[in-house]
Amino acid sequence: MLVVSYIQENKEKVIEGLQKRNFKNLAIVDEVLNVDELRRKTQFELDNILAESNKLAKEVGNLFKQGKAEEANVLKEKSVELKASSKELQDALSQHEEALKGLLYQIPNIPHESVKAGKDADDNETIFEHGVATPKPENLPHWEIAKKYDLIDFELGVKITGAGFPVYKGKGARLQRALTQFFLDYNADAGYEEVVPPFVVNEASGYGTGQLPDKEGQMYYINEDDLYLIPTAEVPVTNIYRDVIVKADELPITNTAYSPCFRREAGSYGKDVRGLNRLHQFEKVEIIRIEKPENSYQALEGMVEHVKGLLEKLELPYRILRLCGGDTGFTSALTYDFEVFSEAQEKWLEVSSVSNFETFQANRLKLRYKDENGTQLAHTLNGSALALPRILASILENHQQADGSIVIPEALRPYTRFDVIN
């Protein structure tokens, strides 16, 4: 959520940033400023009335002590009138504050200056490539490999739950577990403290990290308990620090977490849904950082290097994209996407997003830090390190041998305890 004072001081910059995102409702910026003006005027009037009420209360007390009951009662009547006025102003102030919050919730983050304008994914910039993206149509796609070696049963998942909920079996299950442990160990070795968060969150947590109200239709909702299944570990882990003031010397805070992720994927049916490409339940390992504002972009570059190292350990060809304004997520100021090339499917598959949210989430969370200059909002960052389904799919497809066997990347072998699938 943008800070109102920032909008006041940088109105044109905010509008330019929203235009970079192709955000249409630019009039909302003036609505915010107008409602905030009403809020501040109401607050000013309320403060004056409360000050006058306090002054009157003291005068009434003094008059009673002096035996001047008649004069005191006259002032008491006036005090009653002031209390009624203050109640009206308090109600009006609450309405203005709620209206202001409702407007701010509708405005996405302002893109970083390095983000270029663009309509959608076609306008993203490729900034780095590693390995050779070699199409191999003779290679089997992962869903055929999964069936051939009995690694993943998609039909059984449909029977138990529905499409998008696969059942991993045998070496497929062990490979899934190995990837999770490898990612967590790699992150821990880089200084990220592991946490195991809840996999369901309340409404306040959803609003805190920006999934609500923007992505409400994409989340699974438990009506009876007013809870949501998490779409990513980013939500519960970042909310650990909701309503927290940390000391400056405690920063940076770095966490890593494994979680299942649940996404309705509404509106995506028929689009890249084969096999593991798009699921309703999948596993992911996340990295989260809380940083001082002056350090956050250096930290972001460090997170990018970290994910690069993971993918190189897995011996997969990949590229990094800087997302354009039209493709950048609602809460993000700058996002890098990592895509792995699928040799069998002959296309790029997104496996990680690494983002800096600046103060956007922190303002919603009331996540602050305190130093010699006072209390101020922190910056939050997160990234996938990594999402499992498409990584697993890419390993099966890209590490195929001429005899049809799948060679496990060397870095994973201590975790899988097998070297080949055949």
Per the annotation, binding residues for ATP are 263-265, 350-353
Q: Read off the tokens for 366.
A: 């009331």
Three-class secondary structure assignment of 141-193:
CHHHHHHHCCCEEHHHHHHHCCCCCCEECHHHHHHHHHHHHHHHHHHHHCCCE
Asked if residue 366 lies in contact with residue 290, where contact means CB atoms within 8 angstroms, the answer is: no
Which among 62, 61, 44, 56 is positioned nearest to 83, based on CA atoms?
A: 56
Residue where the block lists tokens 């002590």: 65
Q: What CA–CA distance (Å, rounded) separates 197 from 233?
A: 7
Pick out the residues of the known binding site.
232, 263-265, 286, 350-353, 382
Backbone angles phi, psi at 392, to 5 degrees: -60, -45
Compute CA distances 127 → 179, 296, 339, 341, whole Å: 26, 20, 12, 15
Q: Using CA of residue 69, residue 70, residue 74, residue 77, what is the dihedral sign?
A: positive
CA triplet 212, 215, 220: central angle to 5 degrees?
Answer: 90
Kindly calculate the radius of gyration of the chain based on its CA atoms and give it in whole angstroms.
27
Residue 343, classified by CB atoms within 10 Å of its CB into exposed (0-12), middle (13-18) or buried (19+), is buried
**Binding-site annotation: residue ranges for L-serine:** 232, 263, 286, 382
Contact by Cβ (8 Å): 214, 107: no
The tokens of 413 are what? 């072998």
* Token pair in block for residue 391: 């990584």
Question: Which residues contact residue 231 at a Cβ distance below 8 angstroms, ignoring those fewer than 6 apart?
Answer: 211, 215, 218, 219, 261, 262, 263
